[in-house]
């Protein structure tokens, strides 16, 4: 079992022939991910990285059976790319692009609401189910198969957590990088819920940061509905000054509950095993799983 992506996913790359798309698509293919083609308007009918190029996502769905898309499209066009994928019937849309205007994301978010699809991101590292599919920009060699699920707002801390889990002798079911923008498709709670419902995931690592309510919402849901598995939590940004964006567009302390301290308190109150440093994640996992 896995969530969102696996060896049977049929993946296309939007922005396939651009420099970012080319680089990361080749890494994904090398990892063994089932990339069935890519989309670059105007280049349909050609091939790139030994895969077909399509003019539209619809063509890729009809001709290659694509069900998953990863987006490497510049910020000005990325929201359109998300909407195009949803319109074409893609089930899992993973948007890597950073810097999409908030007004564009509001439009895209509203547009895909009624569609049968799930958006991960934007401004995220993607999703990886180790040894099956890497749909993103994460270093695949860090991840080994196992029973620990990861949900994270931070790309770098996703890799750090995975590395520590592996060093402790465990592995990962699926790691989901949800992204740190103010408006994202899949929330912390939704990603945690996917892993709670995955029979192979025994423990979940939840990595958050200052700004917004996502971690608090997830923590409250875990206590009320989803407390079937242990959750290890970490919040980045403890030393961040109030009112200043730190790294991610969404990482800005707005109210009293947006601080790292407040989020950690809420997580503890809801039964999450909170660590104060990312360096302690692996040890805590070992302590719980034994």
Give me the pLDDT at residue 238, please: 86
Considering the domain boundaries, does residue 6 fall inside one?
no
- pLDDT of 1 over the 90 cut: no
Q: What is the mean pLDDT of the chain?
A: 95
Counted domains in the chain: 2
Binding residues: 17-20, 43, 96-98, 159
- What is the percentage of the chain residues whose pLDDT exceeds 90? 88
| Average pLDDT for 5-16 | 98
Consecutive H or E run containing 78: helix 75-88
283 shares a domain with 148: yes
- pLDDT of 91 over the 90 cut: yes
| Average pLDDT for 30-50 | 98
* Structural domain range at position 23: 11-120
CA distances from 260 to 191, 218, 248 (A): 20, 15, 15
pLDDT tens, residue by residue, 59-73: 999 999 999 999 999
pLDDT tens, residue by residue, 197-213: 999 999 999 999 998 99
Q: How confident is the model at residue 226 (pLDDT cuts 50, 70, 90)?
A: low
74 shares a domain with 31: yes
Residues 6+ apart with CB under 8 A from 36: 10, 11, 12, 51, 52, 60, 64, 65, 66
> Max alpha carbon distance in the chain (Å)?
56
Binding residues for CoA: 17-20, 43, 96-98
Q: What is the CATH number of the domain that holds 83?
A: 3.40.50.720
Residue with tokens 């091939």: 47
| Average pLDDT for 16-39 | 98
Q: How confident is the model at residue 51 (pLDDT cuts 50, 70, 90)?
A: very high
Considering the domain boundaries, does residue 128 fall inside one?
no
List the one residue out of 48, 50, 105, 33 whose CA is nearest residue 75: 105
Q: How confident is the model at residue 241 (pLDDT cuts 50, 70, 90)?
A: confident
| Average pLDDT for 139-157 | 97
Catalytic residue among 24, 48, 248, 273: 248
Give me the pLDDT at residue 255, please: 74
279 shares a domain with 152: yes
Binding residues for substrate: 159
- pLDDT of 54 over the 80 cut: yes
Active site residue 24: no
Q: What is the CATH number of the domain that holds 159?
A: 3.40.50.261
| Average pLDDT for 259-280 | 96
213 shares a domain with 100: no
């Amino acid at each position: 079992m896995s969530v969102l992506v696996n060896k049977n996913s049929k993946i296309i790359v939007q922005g396939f022939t651009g420099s970012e798309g080319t680089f990361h698509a080749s890494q994904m293919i090398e990892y063994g991910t089932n990339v069935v083609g890519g989309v670059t308007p105007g280049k349909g009918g050609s091939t790139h990285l030994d895969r077909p190029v399509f003019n539209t996502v619809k063509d890729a769905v009809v001709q290659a059976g694509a069900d998953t898309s990863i987006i490497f499209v510049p910020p000005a066009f990325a929201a359109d790319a998300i909407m195009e994928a949803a319109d074409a019937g893609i089930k899992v849309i993973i948007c890597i692009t950073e810097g999409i205007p908030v007004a564009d994301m509001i439009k895209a978010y509203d547009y895909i609401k009624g569609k049968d699809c799930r958006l991960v991101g934007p401004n995220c590292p993607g999703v990886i189910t180790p040894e099956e599919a890497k749909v993103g920009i994460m270093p695949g060699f860090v991840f080994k198969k196992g029973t620990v699920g990861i949900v994270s707002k931070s790309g770098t801390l996703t890799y750090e957590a995975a590395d520590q889990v592996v060093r402790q002798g465990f592995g990962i079911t699926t790691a989901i990088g949800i992204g740190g923008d103010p408006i994202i498709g899949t929330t912390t709670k939704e990603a945690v819920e996917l892993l709670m419902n995955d029979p192979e995931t025994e423990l979940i690592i939840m990595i958050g940061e200052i700004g917004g309510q996502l971690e608090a919402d997830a923590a409250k849901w875990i206590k009320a509905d989803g407390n079937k598995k242990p959750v290890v939590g970490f919040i980045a940004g403890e030393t961040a000054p109030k009112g200043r964006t730190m790294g991610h567009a969404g990482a800005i302390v707005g109210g009293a509950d947006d601080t790292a301290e407040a989020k950690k308190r809420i997580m503890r109150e809801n039964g999450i095993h909170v660590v104060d440093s990312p360096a302690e994640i692996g040890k805590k996992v070992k302590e719980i799983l034994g």
